[in-house]
A and B are shown apart, each in its own frame.
Chain A
């Protein structure tokens, strides 16, 4: 059964979309990640124009994150002050990101930029995760206990605008979360992701936030920033396909439940190792498309009916 997607302007099998949503949902439930960084490349693989894949991906992240943030709020695992600073940075970043996106679209380079950013980020993060989980698995085999330094003092702690974040039990420069939020905002706009895969490690390692509060607080930022990007992409580029987003979501909610149940059967570092392999596989596929000789050097850039 095919359905015509009004914004993507193409007919796609409904069950393919539901299955894709379920697969990404399963993985996000299994690994505890948002899944935006898988949704957008998958949409591109089935032929959705990259601009629409990005605009729709970000809209789907809004839906995928809202129930999570509500759950974390009920458990009081959200630092609202930190969330507000991260969101402020995120909004500035997303305005810049959507501006960049629109400009690149007019000069015909948006596909390249989306693919390149995915290759760089997925490659970097996949490699880091593979290294980290591989090391942990090896250490466990050798029976070594690991213990890292709890706190390191770096130049980051010397920055101005020191602010107290009570819930996170931190007294750090507000510029740090602002900058993290900003980078994530740019990524949300140009990659169609929530950016949790960047923000969570940054909050844990750069800010030194307690892990329990990191997820809820990052989800708060993600909901606001992806909502803002959805709005800006709708206004600036008309690339948000609500029909596509809702179909993906329908599959994702079911998949996520199955995934989180399956997740209890595996150990943390095994999960991270598997996720790393998946991320690297997507990265290699996208990277290959960049370097392989295209089937046709010429392509249609834009069609405007008169």
Chain B
């Protein structure tokens, strides 16, 4: 994905040579008010504010992508009266989170080709199953994947608002729900003028489980046998203590 964006930026650079006075690299500066989000026991989601400055008028599109995931989709069919998973399809590289924000409707500020080349918009994400799926069913599986991610609030349907403060300063708020996957998030900011990209900046945002809960998760996966023994021991001690406590009352 970054490669595609870079290609777009190079194209934009070519455009700059052809008359635009700006250099792609300097046209845009961005920053996030947080680079690291800690998922703790009381985590209920997070908001991150993105600030940016351009060196002149233009439009801005912000795309946030969560770490890539391999997602298995299943389809139910009625078998003997009950609904059973009968088919499955794997999508090898799905952004585990996808959100976009724009200063105006994307179709108004960029050409379809530009949007497609930089993967802007859920409809333009290159999501392809890893196994051969009849062409007729491809779109159905893809739509189902998007639907499922939207239900989980991981592909927010609402396009966020990039708001300009004056001509050159802009800001947008990124909202991450409580169930965001952990990992490195790429925040790509595109500056557009005359429907072409003239600037691109990327910031990284890391979502990490911290504290006691992260320890438990890591422990359960790295030392499963010991975890199992401790789970038993905790249950035995807690159950026994509860019994003793209530016998006294």
B112: CB under 8 A from chain A?
no
Query: Are A302 and B71 touching (Cβ within 8 A)?
Result: yes
Kindly list chain A residues whose C-beta atoms are within 8 Å of the C-beta of B228. Answer: 230-235, 240
- Chain A positions 240-261 with a Cβ under 8 Å from a chain B Cβ: 240, 242-243, 245-246, 249, 253, 257
Assembly CA distance A25 to B239 (angstroms): 12
Query: Are B231 and A297 touching (Cβ within 8 A)?
Result: no
Closest to B66 in A: A305
Contacts A4-B43, A6-B216 given: A63-B224 contact, CB under 8 Å? Answer: no
Kindly list chain B residues whose C-beta atoms are within 8 Å of the C-beta of A303. Answer: 69-72, 96, 181
Kindly list chain B residues whose C-beta atoms are within 8 Å of the C-beta of A302. Answer: 70-72
B214: CB under 8 A from chain A?
yes
Kindly list chain B residues whose C-beta atoms are within 8 Å of the C-beta of A5. Answer: 213
B57: CB under 8 A from chain A?
no
Contacts A296-B144, A298-B148, A305-B67 given: A230-B72 contact, CB under 8 Å? Answer: no
Of the residues A7, A223, A236, A298, contact of B75 by C-beta under 8 Å: A298
Chain A interface residue count: which class? Answer: 35 or more
Assembly CA distance A68 to B243 (angstroms): 8
B73: CB under 8 A from chain A?
yes
Binding-face segment, B5-13, B83-91, B113-121 = B83-91
A64: CB under 8 A from chain B?
yes
A65: CB under 8 A from chain B?
yes
Query: Are A238 and B148 touching (Cβ within 8 A)?
Result: no
Of the residues B93, B148, B231, B240, contact of A234 by C-beta under 8 Å: B231
Contacts A3-B41, A70-B240 given: A230-B231 contact, CB under 8 Å? Answer: yes
- Chain B positions 198-249 with a Cβ under 8 Å from a chain A Cβ: 209, 213-214, 216-217, 220-221, 224-225, 227-232, 234-236, 238-240, 242-246, 249
Kindly list chain A residues whose C-beta atoms are within 8 Å of the C-beta of B225. Answer: 231, 234-235
Of the residues B81, B182, B229, B242, contact of A305 by C-beta under 8 Å: B182
Please give the distance in Å from A194's CB to the nearest CB on chain B. Answer: 12
Contacts A6-B214, A234-B228, A249-B238 given: A291-B70 contact, CB under 8 Å? Answer: no
Please give the distance in Å from A261's CB to the nearest CB on chain B. Answer: 11
Query: Are B69 and A108 touching (Cβ within 8 A)?
Result: no
Query: Are A227 and B232 touching (Cβ within 8 A)?
Result: yes
Kindly list chain B residues whose C-beta atoms are within 8 Å of the C-beta of A66. Answer: 235-236, 239-240, 243
Please give the distance in Å from B184's CB to the nearest CB on chain A. Answer: 10
B42: CB under 8 A from chain A?
yes
Assembly CA distance A304 to B94 (angstroms): 10
A117: CB under 8 A from chain B?
no
Grouping DSSP codes into helix (H, G, I), strand (E, B) and loop, the A interface class, with mixed when no group exceeds half, is: helix
Query: Are B229 and A62 touching (Cβ within 8 A)?
Result: no
Annotate A67-78 by CB proximity to B: 1 below 8 A, 0 otherwise: 110110000000
Kindly list chain B residues whose C-beta atoms are within 8 Å of the C-beta of A112. Answer: 82, 84-85
B76: CB under 8 A from chain A?
yes
Please give the distance in Å from B37's CB to the nearest CB on chain A. Answer: 13
Chain B residues bordering chain A, tally (CB within 8 A): 65
Contacts A240-B228, A253-B246, A306-B67 given: A298-B235 contact, CB under 8 Å? Answer: no
Kindly list chain B residues whose C-beta atoms are within 8 Å of the C-beta of A296. Answer: 144, 147-148, 151
Assembly CA distance A111 to B71 (angstroms): 17
Q: Chain A CB within 10 Å — which of B70, B73, B82, B232 has the most?
A: B232
Assembly CA distance A223 to B242 (angstroms): 16
Query: Are A7 and B217 touching (Cβ within 8 A)?
Result: yes
B183: CB under 8 A from chain A?
yes
Annotate A208-244 by CB proximity to B: 1 below 8 A, 0 otherwise: 0000000000000001000100111111101010110
Closest to B213 in A: A6
Of the residues B88, B147, B151, B221, contact of A301 by C-beta under 8 Å: B88
Contacts A66-B235, A291-B83 given: A297-B76 contact, CB under 8 Å? Answer: yes
Q: Chain A CB within 10 Å — which of B71, B144, B239 has the most?
A: B239
List A residues at the B interface (Cβ < 8 Å): 1-7, 9-11, 59-60, 62-68, 70-71, 108-109, 111-112, 116, 223, 227, 230-236, 238, 240, 242-243, 245-246, 249, 253, 257, 290-291, 293-294, 296-306
- Minimum-distance CB pairs A-B, first 7: A67-B243, A234-B228, A298-B144, A63-B239, A253-B242, A63-B235, A66-B239
Known: A233-B228, A249-B239, A296-B148. 11 other contacts (CB 8 A): A9-B217, A10-B179, A11-B178, A66-B236, A66-B239, A111-B85, A231-B231, A245-B234, A298-B75, A300-B72, A306-B93
27 residue pairs bridging A and B, Cβ less than 8 Å apart? A2-B42, A4-B40, A4-B43, A4-B178, A6-B214, A6-B217, A6-B220, A11-B179, A70-B243, A108-B72, A109-B84, A231-B229, A232-B228, A234-B227, A235-B228, A238-B221, A249-B238, A291-B82, A294-B83, A296-B151, A298-B75, A299-B85, A299-B148, A300-B71, A300-B145, A300-B152, A301-B72
